[in-house]
Structure 1
Amino acid sequence: MIDCDVHNSWTSAEVLLDYLDPAFREYLDRGEIPGPRGAFPHAHRPWLHPEGFMRYDAVPPSGVTPGADLPFLAEQLLDRYSIDYAVLTGDESIEVSTLANPYYAQALASAYNDWMIENWLSADPRLRGSLIVAPQNPQLAAAEIRRLGDHPDIVQVLVSSGSQRPYGDPFFHPIWEACSEYDLPFAAHLGGQGGLNSTPIACGPTTFFWETHALLCETGMAHLGSTIAHGVFEKWPNARLILIECGVAWVPPVLWRLDEDFRALRKETPWLRRLPSEYARDHIRLTTQPLEVPNSPQALWPALADIGAQDMLMFASDYPHWDFDDPNFIRLPEDWREAVLDGNARSVYRLPAQEVVDELAG
């Protein structure tokens, strides 16, 4: 099993000070981060979670932040579920996308990447890292990819889904070019609502957290359509977009709509040679958390099968967040389980084949 969304954290953002460019240390030292001093919280967002963002039982015995204690994380997640690999997606760190100063934002992202490599990837062979970049300045983000993109345990480039514009826009093409050079997927994780990205819902700000959380998938729709329409996958044939925690049930009808409009208006984008759904099946991947549950649970699968989602879905637990999905209870068609729980992620992240893992473990 491969878990594609595990949120590692820190006891305090001050752990980044030793890794931060000296020009920006004073910013962090005096608390210039999104929210209260000591951590990037979720409290700077306009929507407050009524119960808290973390599982109550994920607080380690030491009392530190959930996700900050690797031995406890390993016991509660990796060991309990026999997970071969966990892809670390950070937590507060992707909130750099909400900062107005792109230079400071990328400095924080770079400091996090160095801290994560030294303190997490070196500590457990089951861990793989996401290279976090600040997309506000694509040139700086591309430079960060070229700085660390060849690290053997880095498996993707990660941004927040909350963005100033859709990620297929040519503004972001320097990031796609650098990802292509290192054959790294470009992943967008749900979030970033705050700061520069204060209205990630199409009609403007919503009122309640549950309402907002349910509708944030609209950012995933925009990025999916944009990357296809702007020809990202024609320009870089090895490019892959991974949408993390953006949901999956909306994908079939959106692709159906894109296919229909493209058939009628294809002269608008003459660089596209295939249907949007065909690009999606080959180049876009989706994590299972949250996996929507219809009133009739089996109603979801025919629509997903129609777009070939058995090749697109990858398991994610979202540990240690409040909406964690226990892999023992995830509902999947039996003939999809091996691909969704293991094979699809193993392929897109270029992880060793299962027999190699077993041999190393032995």
Structure 2
Amino acid sequence: MATTQPDGTQTPLIDASVHIFFGSNKDLRQNFMREPFRSRGFPDYEMDWYGAPGGEYAKGTEGSDGQYPGSDPDVVAKHLFTDRGVDMAILHPMTRGIMPDRHLGTAIAAAHNEMMVTRWLEHPEHGERFRGTIRVNPDDLTGALREIDKYRDHPRVVQIGVPLQSRELYGKPQYWPLWEAVIDANLPVAVHIEVGSGIALPPTPSGNTRTYEQYAGFMALNYLYHLMNMIAEGVFERMPALKFVWADGAADLLTPFIWRMDCFGRPHLEQTPWAPKMPSDYLPGHVFFVQGMLDGPGDADFAGEWHSFTGKDDMVMYGSSYPHWQLNEPSVPSAFSTEQRDKLLWRNAAELYGLQIGAEVRL
């Protein structure tokens, strides 16, 4: 398969952000959860403060019998592989955020992992073109390590997933054993906005936003707090093999933010002797993004130049956010070079996740 560009060329396409769900809460509870957690209370996927105007999910993404959008592998495979020309899809199960009971949170994550592996990664027809994200609960180190150990050697598992809406910044030492385990498993970490209303902190330093538009515009920026903290705490200096994927867009904000960090960091490096480099020096090879619908200047004359600043050429990967309403298209600004286009659409993801797909642009 391939995606066709406006100039008629065809290129490989890796979708680095495909969200999958259970068909229903009954499906989750009865088929993948066990007591004492099966009968516990936890939020529905739809239980959040900010419903998207017009609906959260794109039309036609429900299962053949009305199951939840993004829950039927056959429907998803048709939409991605047949209709959109995707070669391979990186699956990211949507769980329920941080639960008050860490054991319940881990049980929910474990159920989603089992569902993804058995229904999707081992699907007899489509499994070869799916790759998976194992969800772990960062509030339960023992449970998280157990899930990593269980699936680390599965040939179609390519990353570990944690929620963007954490209760602590991910540079703090309590998370270091988790990141060390991820490195030992030779997997990157993907950080994504969660569904369902858990007990995470508000999405802005000033509290909760009023509308969905404000929430969607701001929420992804929380990666900046995590990233700043990880650099300041010396996480990437301490763990040179650690890779983080900020999977909910906002890559366009990296450049002004890191410029500001470098400006303030230059005269104050002595305050963080465990992180002796300039902040921007910790980006290459450590920091990656999935392209969001609203990222960057759009199809402007300077789009290619802006994309090249701060090394973003090598950091950003295309992701559709299927089955969510925006369904990001694999469109590339006309000002992008051929190399920039290929890195965005498939090459960066292929290198990060170790995927073998066609290496030549097809005409």
Question: TM above 0.5, one fold?
Answer: yes
Offset of residue 176 of structure 1: 0.2
Counterparts of 1:289-304 in structure 2, within 5 Å, are: 289-294=292-297, 297-304=300-307
Offset of residue 160 of structure 1: 1.3
Tell me how far apart the structure 2 counterparts of residues 220 and 192 of structure 1 sit (CA, whole Å). 17
Offset of residue 311 of structure 1: 0.4
Match of 2:136 in 1: 133
Tell me how far apart the structure 2 counterparts of residues 26 and 334 of structure 1 sit (CA, whole Å). 54
1:33 aligns with 2:37: no
Could you tell which deviates more after superposition, 1-10 or 292-301? 292-301
> Does the CA-based 8 Å contact 2:57-2:323 persist in structure 1?
yes
Offset of residue 352 of structure 1: 2.3
Which digits, 9 at most, give the CA deviation of each residue in 1:78-113, with x for residues without a partner?
22233221010123x1x2x33111001101111211
Could you tell which deviates more after superposition, 279-288 or 143-152? 143-152
Question: Judging changes above 3 Å, is the alpha-carbon distance between structure 1 residues 298 and 159 closer, same or farther for their aligned structure 2 residues?
Answer: farther
What letter corresponds to residue 82 of structure 2 in structure 1? D
Question: Judging changes above 3 Å, is the alpha-carbon distance between structure 1 residues 21 and 235 closer, same or farther for their aligned structure 2 residues?
Answer: farther
1:9 aligns with 2:21: yes
Offset of residue 299 of structure 1: 3.9
What letter corresponds to residue 120 of structure 1 in structure 2? W
Question: What RMSD over aligned residues (CA atoms) do the two structures have, in Å?
Answer: 2.1
1:20 aligns with 2:33: yes
Match of 1:84 in 2: 87
Which digits, 9 at most, give the CA deviation of each residue in 1:273-303, with x for residues without a partner?
4222121122100011234253772344433
Tell me how far apart the structure 2 counterparts of residues 18 and 73 of structure 1 sit (CA, whole Å). 21
Match of 2:175 in 1: 172
SS in structure 2 at match of 1:7: strand
Match of 1:225 in 2: 228
Tell me how far apart the structure 2 counterparts of residues 313 and 291 of structure 1 sit (CA, whole Å). 14
> Does the CA-based 8 Å contact 2:203-2:209 persist in structure 1?
no
SS in structure 1 at match of 2:221: helix
SS in structure 1 at match of 2:285: helix
> Does the CA-based 8 Å contact 2:62-2:71 persist in structure 1?
no
1:306 aligns with 2:288: no
Aligned mate of 1:65, from 64, 68, 77: 68
Identity %: 28
SS in structure 2 at match of 1:71: helix
Match of 1:121 in 2: 121
1:349 aligns with 2:346: no
> Does the CA-based 8 Å contact 1:160-1:192 persist in structure 2?
no
Which digits, 9 at most, give the CA deviation of each residue in 1:16-50, with x for residues without a partner?
334334332232xxxx121xxxxx323x2222322
Could you tell which deviates more after superposition, 78-87 or 209-218? 78-87
Which digits, 9 at most, give the CA deviation of each residue in 1:99-144, with x for residues without a partner?
1110011011112111210111011210001000111223321222
Tell me how far apart the structure 2 counterparts of residues 141 and 129 of structure 1 sit (CA, whole Å). 16
> Does the CA-based 8 Å contact 1:252-1:304 persist in structure 2?
no
Tell me how far apart the structure 1 counterparts of residues 83 and 298 of structure 2 sit (CA, whole Å). 30
Which digits, 9 at most, give the CA deviation of each residue in 1:333-361, with x for residues without a partner?
133011111111111112225369x9xxx
> Does the CA-based 8 Å contact 2:269-2:276 persist in structure 1?
no
Tell me how far apart the structure 1 counterparts of residues 112 and 278 of structure 2 sit (CA, whole Å). 39
SS in structure 2 at match of 1:135: coil
SS in structure 2 at match of 1:158: strand
1:319 aligns with 2:322: yes
Higher RCO (CA 8 Å, separation ≥ 6 residues): 2
Say which structure is richer in helix. Answer: 1
> Does the CA-based 8 Å contact 1:161-1:192 persist in structure 2?
no
Question: Judging changes above 3 Å, is the alpha-carbon distance between structure 1 residues 321 and 269 closer, same or farther for their aligned structure 2 residues?
Answer: same
Offset of residue 200 of structure 1: 1.5
> Does the CA-based 8 Å contact 1:249-1:291 persist in structure 2?
no
State TM-score, norm by structure 1.
0.89
Q: How many residues align?
A: 343
What letter corresponds to residue 23 of structure 1 in structure 2? P
Could you tell which deviates more after superposition, 48-57 or 180-189? 48-57
What letter corresponds to residue 303 of structure 1 in structure 2? W
1:48 aligns with 2:61: no
What letter corresponds to residue 321 of structure 1 in structure 2? H
Match of 2:341 in 1: 337
Q: Which runs of 5+ in 1 are unaligned?
A: 35-39
Could you tell which deviates more after superposition, 151-160 or 136-145? 136-145
Offset of residue 57 of structure 1: 3.2
Tell me how far apart the structure 2 counterparts of residues 290 and 129 of structure 1 sit (CA, whole Å). 22
Tell me how far apart the structure 2 counterparts of residues 260 and 212 of structure 1 sit (CA, whole Å). 29
Tell me how far apart the structure 1 counterparts of residues 194 and 249 of structure 2 sit (CA, whole Å). 9
Q: Which runs of 5+ in 2 are unaligned?
A: 1-12
Tell me how far apart the structure 1 counterparts of residues 140 and 295 of structure 2 sit (CA, whole Å). 34
What letter corresponds to residue 289 of structure 1 in structure 2? G
Offset of residue 198 of structure 1: 4.3
State TM-score, norm by structure 2.
0.88
